[in-house]
Structure 1
Amino acid sequence: GGSEDGGGDAGRDAGGEEEVFLAAQEAARAAAREAAEAAAREAAEEAAREAAAWEAELRARIQQLNYEIDAACAEDDFDKADALETDLRELSKQLEDCRVRAG
């Protein structure tokens, strides 16, 4: 019955190889999941940085418009002040949208 024993060993070896394969597959899945999570975190951080930069730019433009509106009013140029205030409202709305998106 030596051949039957040989058959049993071969069966166990195949089972062992399958376990190794499944473990490797699971490890590969885990690595892929971790890589995807890391990429998602990086993307979120990058988006947050871009949003912060955009918000800072909007704030600077709003501040600049406020100065220009004051200057226009000081010169009694109310048409210009009105136009600038329209721009200011638009920028303020964009800033609010930016804040909402940033959470």
Structure 2
Amino acid sequence: MDHSQWKTARTRALLGEPRAEDPEVAALRLEIRYAMALGQAVYDRRTALGLSPAELARRAGLTEAQVEAIEGGDTVPTLPLLHRLATALESELDIHVASGPAAAVRFEPPAA
């Protein structure tokens, strides 16, 4: 971005004009939201079961650092790893991805 483009963007921002977001940035933001939703779901279920990160790691065959990375939204596990997490959390994993930015991730006790 040269000075002229920066000045135009700054003026528009000061005037409150909406700006178009770069598609790459929008895709990255969406990926981060999904990773954070998954991490929060793992954390919520783990604490509901009264498990420590170390105990969840042991049950899932992971390291404690891997569990913390997932809970922190720093990494997105593969499908086989998600299956191991669901088993370790005594849960069924439900992921709902809509066409918009919303995503719902839940670990729920198995249906009776």
TM more than 0.5: no
More helix by share: 1
Give the structure-2-normalised TM-score.
Answer: 0.33
Report the TM-score when normalising by structure 1. Answer: 0.36
Structure with greater proportional strand content: 2
**Larger Rg belongs to:** 1
